[in-house]
Amino acid sequence: MTRRTRLLGWLAAANVLLLVVGLPFGKPVAQRSRARIGLVFDVGGIGDKSFNDAAYAGLLKAEKELDLSVRYIEPADGTDRESAVRELAAGGHDLVIGVGFIFSDDMRALATRYPDVKFACIDYSGPRENVPPNLVGLPFREQEGSFLAGALAGLVTKSKKVGFVGGMQIPLIRKFEIGYAAGVHHVCPECAVFAAYAGTEPKAFADPTTGKELALAQYGRGADIVYHAAGKTGIGVFNAARAEGKWAIGVDADQRHEAPCCIVSSMVKGVDVAVFRTIQEVVEGRFVGGGVHELGLAEGGVDLVWDDLTEKVAGPDAKAKIDAIRAEIVAGTIRVPGE
């Protein structure tokens, strides 16, 4: 089964679950007019080769395949995100999507202020109670995919030292680090895991220079593979891997093309499919808000890329080990920490 098939599968399953918590919000847009979709990107915007670009791919697919009018906004530094979402909501858009956890509180407030507009928040991190009926939160269990990335790193490392570079130091990115470290130690209890963050403000997701410095420091301490969860800052991690002839693991999307020499795998999230299917639900009158729907390995919302280079670097027995770990996580035999 392909990753795309799995992602479509969990989204189809999510639609069934949504019917349990409420009724579709509004009639099909096609019965009224051409759908108007607005999307506000996270810090770093288009070109981060990761989180935002995955959302953009979903938006472009929807624009191509559905009857839409699309507008998107790229906030400069994250401080103007509320005004960007408000502008789209006030402008008569049928659906406004916020890409990133930093939108959570603003979208709850604006959903209440604009009850006739539908809202969706990717990586939602706000309260799970009393979610407005026109808002759906779509967080991911990134720690589960990161556990697989850590297990891979633990199988690949020769030095028994591995690294992690995060963007903004917040609970969401800590989930990546904690899951990764747990995965490393699951297969290599004696391995050391180095961790560093680019900063404590949203701009930490758009700082390739700092990303490279942090990764170089970890490679200098003996790490031979570094995993990042840092948005555009992760480009600097890849530059460091290329300069040092070491390995790296990408995030959110398959990032192999960014450094074909050095990216052994990527922990992928179904952000593109989540954006597309949410838009499709609005167009077809199947959107259901008022809840939070978390997506992990069991739902196909996260996974680990496995290709010829991964096989070559990790060895012929590694895939069977990773597949077994994945199955244990889905079954609940392995409980992955997230905090």
Give me the residues paired with residue 135 across strands. Answer: 119
Q: What is the mean pLDDT of residues 230-247?
A: 97
CATH number of 142-268+302-331: 3.40.50.2300
Query: Does position 77 have pLDDT exceeding 70, yes or no?
Result: no
The structure tokens 């103007």 sit at 80
Are the folds of 3-140+270-292 and 142-268+302-331 the same?
yes
| Token couple for 299 | 């739902």
Q: What is the pLDDT of residues 98-152, one digit of tens each?
A: 999 989 999 999 999 999 999 999 999 999 999 999 999 999 999 999 999 999 9
User: Considering the chain, what is the average pLDDT of its residues?
Assistant: 90
To the nearest 10°, the Cα dihedral for 85, 134, 299, 335?
80
- The closest of 259, 271, 49, 16 to 142, measured between CA atoms, is 271
- Is 138 exposed, middle or buried, given 0-12, 13-18 or 19+ CB atoms closer than 10 A? buried
Separation CA 85–CA 107 (nearest Å): 8
- The closest of 57, 138, 38, 42 to 95, measured between CA atoms, is 38
Please say whether the beta carbons of 153 and 225 come within 8 A: yes
Grade residue 79 by pLDDT with cuts at 50, 70 and 90. low
What percentage of the chain has pLDDT greater than the value 70? 89
Q: What is the mean pLDDT of residues 229-235?
A: 95
Separation CA 224–CA 245 (nearest Å): 9
Separation CA 336–CA 190 (nearest Å): 19
* Residue 65 C-beta-side C-alpha neighbours within 13 Å: 12
CA distances from 224 to 193, 219, 263 (A): 11, 6, 12
Q: What is the pLDDT of residues 252-265, one digit of tens each?
A: 999 999 999 999 99
Domain ranges of the chain: 3-140+270-292, 142-268+302-331
Separation CA 255–CA 267 (nearest Å): 9
Protein fold of 3-140+270-292: Rossmann fold (3.40.50)
The reported pLDDT for the residue numbered 5 is 43
- Is 85 exposed, middle or buried, given 0-12, 13-18 or 19+ CB atoms closer than 10 A? buried
CA distances from 257 to 186, 216, 253, 266 (A): 29, 21, 11, 11
Q: Strands 225-229, 247-252: parallel, antiparallel or unpaired by DSSP? A: parallel
Q: b/e string for 281-300 if b means 16 or more Cβ within 10 A?
A: bbbeebbbbbbbbebbbbbb
Query: Does position 7 have pLDDT exceeding 60, yes or no?
Result: no
Q: Strands 302-304, 263-269: parallel, antiparallel or unpaired by DSSP? A: antiparallel
Highest-pLDDT range among 52-56, 178-182, 269-273: 178-182
The reported pLDDT for the residue numbered 26 is 45
pTM of the model: 0.84
